[in-house]
Structure 1
Amino acid sequence: MFAISLGDDGAELRPLEPWRAGEFLAHMDRGREYVGRHIGLPDVVTDLDSARSFLRAYAEKAANDAGRIFGIWTGGTLVGGVMFRTMDVEYGTAEAGCWLEPSAAGKGLVTRACRVIIDWAVEERGIHRVEWYASTKNDASIAVARRLGMTKEGVLRENYPHRGVRTDTELWAVLAPEWRAARKGRTGE
């Protein structure tokens, strides 16, 4: 089993695999209301079977090179995650996403975790374009896109039906050359 350190605070990024379904469900139960304000994940993961099914779907995506999912742990507890909801290596595009329970919010965990997975996608997999979709009302997610050096490309009006309400979604993206230039500036390479 591997873990990637996300900094001096002991946070780690690890694969989120089907055998962790119970832990994933417990995490979702702790953050269900908070996570569900802008995304439908807690509406899909409602019991052990649905948690296992969700993680199996991502295991299948990984096997087909079409997506990935990783958990964020602090103090040995799963508190959130990042993912490539979609990944098309042939076309060089991927869509990144994230979620956190309230206890983990505001600590930079998603930004740090996304830097790890975007570095991997760009440098190891040859992804040219990483997209980020966020509800126009999700200030925290939009702030992550900005911190990742993404460019706002537009607003998709009333494109996402969430809990009976159609919401607007901002589309952000970063291209591989932009990502590399920003990383070089962060690390002083």
Structure 2
Amino acid sequence: MFAFTIDEKIELRLHEEHHAEELFALTDRNRAHLGRWFPWVEHTQNVDDTLKFIKGVRRGYADNEAVLTSVWCDGNIAGTLGISRIDWNIGSGEIGYWLGADYEGRGIITRSCRALISYAFDTLKLNRIVIKCQPENTRSSAVAKRLGFSYEGTLRESAKHNGKLHDMEVYSVLRRERSDAPR
């Protein structure tokens, strides 16, 4: 089972079916907060929707297509973080994340991403990690910048959410660009 200790308070764990109620409750409490950025929020209406999500991401992990985890802080689910859209031909994956509003601003995502990126490069042997976010999501783009990702550009009107088309900024980091990469 995948579990990754970040520090004494934070841990990443694969989603488990018996956590569906807790994950749904976090999503439901943060519906307005998350709904600004994520189209899946409006389709997550009950625990069964969250359970379906968990079963899907566990299949993705078993099929070697993704590593999607719950972020645990002080023994509670605080959000999610993972690598999806893994393309083994080019060694690329996309990081996505969210936290409940009560957990933001504490460096949880930045520290967790740093650990997951190391796992992606060192264990999965990926070469490129991508983060995409809407330009208005300044907290998310700040995470990418803090982690040393390079801004690649903006995919204009490439996502649809709340009935509107949205631009998506693309940030990436290559294995050789890591500060601890062998020279």
1:17-48 Cα deviation digits (max 9, x unpaired) = 23321111011112111112111232232211
1:6 deviates by 2.6
Q: Which residue of 2 aligns with 1:15?
A: 14
Structure 1 residue 79, shift from structure 2 partner: 1.1
User: Which residue in 1 is equivalent to 2:62?
Assistant: 63
Q: Distance in 1 between matches of 2:87 and 2:158?
A: 22
With the length of structure 1 as denominator, give the TM-score of the two structures.
0.89
In structure 2, C-alpha distance between the alignment counterparts of 1:19 and 1:177, rounded to whole Å: 39
Per-residue displacement from partner, 1:103-152 (whole Å, max 9, x unpaired)?
Answer: 00001111111111111111111100101101010000000000111000
User: Which residue is 2:123 aligned to?
Assistant: 124
Distance 2:4 2:91 in 1: 24
User: Structure 1 CA distance, aligned partners of 2:62 and 2:72?
Assistant: 23
Tell me, in whole angstroms, the C-alpha distance in 1 between the residues paired with 2:81 and 2:174.
Answer: 19
Please name the residue that 2:148 is paired with: 149
Alignment coverage as a number of residue pairs? 181
The amino acid of 1:4's aligned partner reads F
Single out whichever of 128-137 and 41-50 deviates more from structure 2. Answer: 41-50
The alignment's TM-score, normalised by the length of structure 2, stands at 0.92
Tell me the amino acid that sits aligned with residue 51 of structure 1. T
For 1:46 and 1:62, the matched residues in 2 are separated by 24
The whole-number CA distance in structure 2 between the counterparts of 1:183 and 1:44 is: 41
How far residue 76 of structure 1 moved from its aligned partner, in angstroms, is 1.5
The CA deviation at 1:2 is 6.5
Structure 2 CA distance, aligned partners of 1:157 and 1:7? 38
Asked if 2 retains the 8 angstrom alpha-carbon contact of 1:18 and 1:59, the reply is: no
| Contact 1:6–1:109 (Cα < 8 Å) also in 2 | no
Moved over 6 A (4+): none
Deviation at 1:89, TM superposition (A): 2.5
Q: Determine the C-alpha separation between the residues in 2 that align with 1:39 and 1:85.
A: 15
**How well do the aligned residues superpose, as a CA RMSD in angstroms?**
1.6
Q: 1:87 to 1:2 in 2, by over 3 A?
A: closer
Q: CA deviation at 1:3?
A: 4.4
Q: Which 10-residue stretch deviates more, 97-106 or 70-79? A: 70-79
Distance across 1 between alignment mates of 2:2 and 2:52 = 23
Q: Distance in 2 between matches of 1:44 and 1:141?
A: 22
Give SS of 1:91's match.
coil
